[in-house]
Amino acid sequence: MAYDVDLFVIGGGSGGVRAARTAAATGARVALAEDSRMGGTCVIRGCVPKKLMVFASEFREGAALAREYGWSASSGEFDWSRFSARMNGELDRLEQVYHNLLNGSGVTIHNARATLQDAHTVALSSGETVTAETILVATGGRPVRPDQTNAHLGMVSDDIFQMERLPKSILIIGGGYIASEFACILNGLGVEVTQYYRGAQILRGFDDEARGLVAEMMQEKGINLHLGTNIVEMRSAADAEGDMRMPAHIPVPQASADAVGKPVWIKATNGDARVFDAVMFATGRAPNSHGLGLEDIGVKINRRGAIEVDAYSKTAVDNIYAIGDVTDRIQLTPVAIREGVAFTETVYKNNPTKPDHELVASAVFTQPELGTVGLTEEQAREIETIDVYCTSFRPMRTAFADRPDRVLMKLIVSKENRTVLGCQIVAEGAGELIQMVGIAIKAGLTKEDFDRTVAVHPTMSEELVTMQNPVRSA
């Protein structure tokens, strides 16, 4: 059968765009559909605008630190509207870059929603249908609101970038990296931040010692963090004010010019009841897999909504593949890009390639940042006997200004063969540092290889090659 195109990609995020471009470079006829903005979560509603907000949020403390170094510095007032306009202009530029890259690669772009009529036919919301020999689903994920009364009153992470003004106060519900990052960002921008997390410690799944230090430093910087806490009731402040059951001593401020939407009254499991200018849910993300017609043609979707794929990203239907967050393997942009490249190698270069999901470095852009690669201490000691090399100290840059900031450097080492199994860094710039350490750990270097490396002095990272004795074995 003759098909309209060789490959149809559904989704214009980082993974889908890379797969489309690399496949087109082999001579394949490629089309791609995106029903929102080209660039996907990372470029439009995720890592790029978030990192710009991280940069913006650091200047207030930077100005305060500058004064301790003798500068007459003032952070002044943060202008959200000015920053937001500049940020959105940058996102528009990047979106156009993605369009240009696809056009330059010869990929046909459909600005429409795509669903599957059958295993080889894509139906577009524009009314067109396109047949394809191979179909790649790269539709990513989305933030979800909890299933509770009045959850619509709260924002999710996508909404943060669309705020017309900053709230004076915000409640962030959740303890993962998204919740914790935005708590730090908004705190740095001058918002009064409260964070509720139902668990015993934020950043579940990360190294216990590292996440404990991040939580301590977040509180030190003014974030009102409540662990073991969740909300039991939420409603608009206006409704709560008129409710005679509401305790009389709970203040209900009038909506201010700086409010985002309408103020929300919250009652928590710890007994607190108060009004916030805004509430943000950061309680999870879900794959964008439903409503595409996948299950009707035999593609398997698990109970979390993720498309099930094999080691080569192939679904249960031979000519349909899936990559990125919609498969819920590792939800990171560079991983989706690698999966897109591996797809092209497998399908169009006759070089079956499994995307490598081992020893992937990542960073949490809290303040301070957390960088991690390989196993945590808790994971490693369940597998084998380990030595833990760890140091925590006040970095020179902020110790000079008598700040309480602390840094953590930690190596997890196999006791049997001395291979470095994991590294955890909590420090300013930890994301940059862990990228370099990730190369060493991916290469399988031993603790002695680290020790043979001459330190760069004076730096924080020199501790990674100067820790001589383990603090404990497990």
Question: What residues are labeled active site?
Answer: 457
Go through the chain and tell me how many residues it has.
474
Report how far Cα 284 is from the mean position of its chain's Cα atoms: 11
Which tokens in the block code for residue 464?
A: 């990674």
Within 150-293, residue ranges assigned H as helices are 157-160, 177-188, 208-220, 237-241
Q: Could you give the CA distance from residue 466 to residue 107 in angstroms, rounded to a whole number?
A: 51
How many CA atoms lie within 13 Å of 102's alpha carbon, on the beta-carbon side?
28
Distances (CA, A) of 407 to 20, 284, 397, 411: 42, 29, 11, 14
- The helix, strand and coil proportions of the chain, stated in percent and rounded to the nearest 5, come to 35, 25, 40
- The secondary structure element, H or E, covering residue 114 is strand 114-118
Residues 6+ apart with CB under 8 A from 254: none
Instruction: Measure the N-to-C terminal CA separation of the chain; round to a whole number of Å.
Output: 61
Strand partners, 108: 31
Please choose, from the candidates 266, 73, 316, 251, the residue with its C-alpha nearest in 3D space to the C-alpha of residue 153.
Answer: 266
DSSP state of 350: S
* Contact (Cβ atoms closer than 8 angstroms) between residue 357 and residue 330: yes
Q: Which amino acid is at 412?
A: I
Return the SS3 of 218: helix
Return the SS3 of 45: helix
What are phi and psi for residue 363, nearest 5 degrees?
-140, 145
DSSP code string of 224-246: EEEET--EEEEEEHHHHHT-TTS
Return the SS3 of 462: helix
